[in-house]
Chains A and B, each alone.
Chain A
Amino acid sequence: MAALREASRAVDDSSPDRVASVAYYAVQTARLVAILAGSFYIVAGLDILFARFLNWLGVSQAEAVTWAVMLGFLLYVGIVMWAFAAPVKHRPASVIVFLARVMTCVGIMLTPGVIS
């Protein structure tokens, strides 16, 4: 418990001289992976909206999807940076992770065969 408490207290400490516990590294890793993956799902949602918008404007479906995906990867960097730079009290990371989790679970249930 003490290690976990230390890990949660040190969650924002990026000092290079720090020698922390294994729990600290585990928490940092989980946090990073969750935000990187969660942000990818946010981008995927925006990609679809953008592709549908372009398609509505008259761009062919294939072109619209290609443009949306190309833009999406650039957008991704911005979203990840925003997730880390937002004020701590309003940290959006937990929201992103929560949304990603819901989207993944519900999405997979609604789209059988996606994983395969």
Chain B
Amino acid sequence: MSAFPKRDFRASMTWLHSWAGIIPTLLFFAVFWMGTLSVFDKEIDRWMQPESRYAGPPIAYDLDASIETFIGAQNGVEVTSLFIMPPKPREPYLYFYGVLAEEVNGKTYSYGRFVGESNEMLGEPQSLAGSGFIFPFHFKLHIPGNFGYYLIGAVALAMLVLTVTGVIAHRKIIADFFTFRPTRKARRVTLDLHNLMGVVGLPFYFLFALSGLYIFAGWFAALPMQTVDGVMGKSPVAFLELADSQSPKRRPRAGQSIAMDKAIMPFKTQAEALWSERYGAPVMADRVRIEHYGDANATVIVHRVFPGRRVTMAQDRIDFDYATGTVLYDQQATPATATRSWLEGLHFVQFEHWPLRWLFFAGGAAGCILTATGALFWMRSREKKAGAQPFNIRFVHAMTVGSVTGIMLATGVFFVANRFIALGALPPGIAPIEWEPITFYIAWLLSFIHAAARGRSAWMDQCFFIAILSLSAAVLNWVTTGDHLIKTMTTGMWSIAGMDLLLLLTSALSAWSAIHLRGKARQRPFAVQGDDPALQPAE
């Protein structure tokens, strides 16, 4: 008999599906989980940065007065460039980011936010929140350097392969859609749920893996393209340069100072008028940049990136010479960039369309269930035959628990830590903004250790912890800010109300899961070291 038995195409794809799925499981769930939360990153920002909450009507802001206030707040330190974002429904403040000519308190940049109708400037946020921690975790895991991008790129490639091979491996795609038997044995239910979630979200998973790859194509594709081109004897393709070669070269500084006494708002208005005429509908700019602030070559760049209710990102950009007001560059999308912009817009989920946003949230949650049930099925299939848990099964079990309930638990700790930090309950020596990530990583690490020590009981324990943490976060929000659920719902602060409601829902579901798992644990076929003796099956 041959050492390599003959296999058909489906068997090969099943092999590929099993292994491409099980190896990056930990990362799959982390990416899905953080990606799902990132759908509401701005709402999480409002919840974690209470000073930026605003429930009033759209703000009538004064751009030039705010620029003056921001520049004045730098205590004479020269600002070399400014990045401004006007208020939007999900970000109800005028946002400033300035690059400084010299280092101040170890930083060469400065933030400013103008919330509400007053022209009072808020300082730097005290929490990384959704946009600063959860969203970047989704695509680079906060690993220093470029390694995080490459790692997540590999995960996205594996996801692409999994979606296609999953269809071939499971074959009965229509039947699977209608097959869910919750009363059958746990292993059967797990597979049914895995198949169901796979079929329901198939286009979503494929498009999100693909669009994620396109967003960071410069990172993922640059290295192999450069090395391959090197082998072909050509000079290496500077991929990133090529991809950006449509944008104009940045103007150098003239080295001659000018007074910045001309208003910036008319540049924005002019760009919006030009775009509105071009597209035959009112268009709002959502970014204003001032390059070489205070220099004779100062350039005002007006962008439109996320156009309201449209999924496709816009490529609109107009560069003005500040001194003369002449248009230096007027960018319009080419066929390739327009295609890429649709895929990128789909992935960034920054459009103002709430039903679609919730649909994407549901798609992400389905992806979490898909990943978790896939890993559970793989594990249970082996546990059944094992009789006693060998090292590899125990290892995969600990990794699965830590990567599924562990990261949810760590996120709960992240939210609770944010509210405790707001109370000023901080040990000295570490900046408040660094505390939340530290608590997150410690909690996540402990969840793996707990899973290894507690065996199968870890699922139940960690669900219970998640329930407690989610409930505590919602209650702490009320205690520390006074924004309880009834107040936020009656005053129209839906971002805060939504976050609290999701925390309470998570708490209820986790508590139900913990109770359900306790009941199931009594029927399990074997015990592992560290299990609760009270949960052992009756002989």
Interface residues of A (CB under 8 A from B): 8-9, 11-12, 14, 16-22, 25, 28-29, 32-33, 36-37, 40-41, 43-45, 47-48, 51, 60-63, 65-67, 69-70, 72-74, 76-77, 80-81, 84-85, 88-89, 102-104, 106-108, 110-111, 114-115
Contact = CB atoms under 8 A, between A and B. Distances in A.
Interface in B507-526: none
Interface stretch (B1-9, B55-63, B97-105, B173-181): B1-9
Given A88-B4, A110-B230, A17 B382 contact: yes
Contacts of A111: 226-227, 229-230, 236
A-B CB proximity, top 4 nearest: A107-B227, A44-B224, A110-B230, A14-B15
Given A25-B392, A81-B16, A106-B231, A36 B158 contact: yes
A8 B228 contact: no
B393 A36 contact: no
B335 A63 contact: yes
Q: Interface centre among A44, A70, A76, by most B CB within 10 Å?
A: A44
A65 B11 contact: no
Contacts of B339: 70
Q: Interface centre among B160, B336, B384, by most A CB within 10 Å?
A: B336
Contacts of A114: 223, 226-227, 230, 236
Contacts, number: 162
A107 B393 contact: no
Interface string B157-168: 110110011000
Interface stretch (B38-46, B213-221, B290-298, B435-443): B213-221
Interface string B217-261: 100010111111111100011010011111000000000000000
Contacts of B382: 16-19
26 contacts: A12-B15, A14-B11, A16-B381, A16-B382, A17-B384, A28-B19, A29-B19, A32-B16, A36-B20, A36-B157, A37-B154, A43-B224, A44-B225, A48-B232, A65-B243, A73-B213, A81-B16, A84-B15, A85-B13, A88-B4, A88-B6, A89-B4, A102-B231, A107-B230, A108-B230, A114-B226
Nearest to B378: A16
Given A61-B245, A73-B210, A12 B5 contact: yes
B315 to A, nearest CB: 12
B246 A65 contact: no
Contacts of A41: 224, 227-228
B357 interface: no
Contact of A70 (B227, B336, B384): B336
Nearest to B168: A81
B337 interface: yes
Nearest to B343: A70
Nearest to B187: A16
B230 A73 contact: no
Contacts of A72: 221
Contact of A65 (B224, B237, B393): B237
Contacts of B16: 32, 80-81, 84
Contacts of A102: 231
B386 interface: yes
A85 B393 CA distance: 28
A20 B236 CA distance: 44
B278 interface: no
Given A14-B18, A62-B245, A70-B339, A104 B227 contact: yes
A22 B382 CA distance: 13
B437 to A, nearest CB: 27
Nearest to A106: B231
B223 A17 contact: no
A108 B231 CA distance: 9
B405 to A, nearest CB: 23
Q: Interface centre among B14, B18, B221, by most A CB within 10 Å?
A: B221
B504 to A, nearest CB: 38
B219 to A, nearest CB: 11
B139 to A, nearest CB: 16
Contacts of A36: 20, 154, 157-158, 161
Contacts of B384: 17
A43 B392 CA distance: 34
Interface in B199-215: 210, 213-214
Nearest to A62: B245
Given A11-B4, A36-B158, A103-B228, A67 B336 contact: yes
A95 to B, nearest CB: 16
Contacts of B310: none
Interface string B384-396: 1110001111000
B226 A107 contact: yes
B395 to A, nearest CB: 9
B334 interface: yes
Q: Interface centre among A22, A28, A62, A74, by most B CB within 10 Å?
A: A62
Contacts of A107: 226-231
B90 interface: no
Contacts of B229: 48, 107, 111
A66 B243 contact: yes
B12 interface: yes
A74 B154 CA distance: 14
A77 B154 contact: no
Given A8-B3, A9-B3, A67-B336, A76 B245 contact: no
Interface string B254-295: 000000000000000000000000000000000000000000
Nearest to A22: B392
Contacts of B392: 20-22, 25
Contacts of A25: 392
A11 B18 CA distance: 13
A8 B4 CA distance: 9
B340 interface: yes
A106 B161 CA distance: 28
Contacts of B213: 73
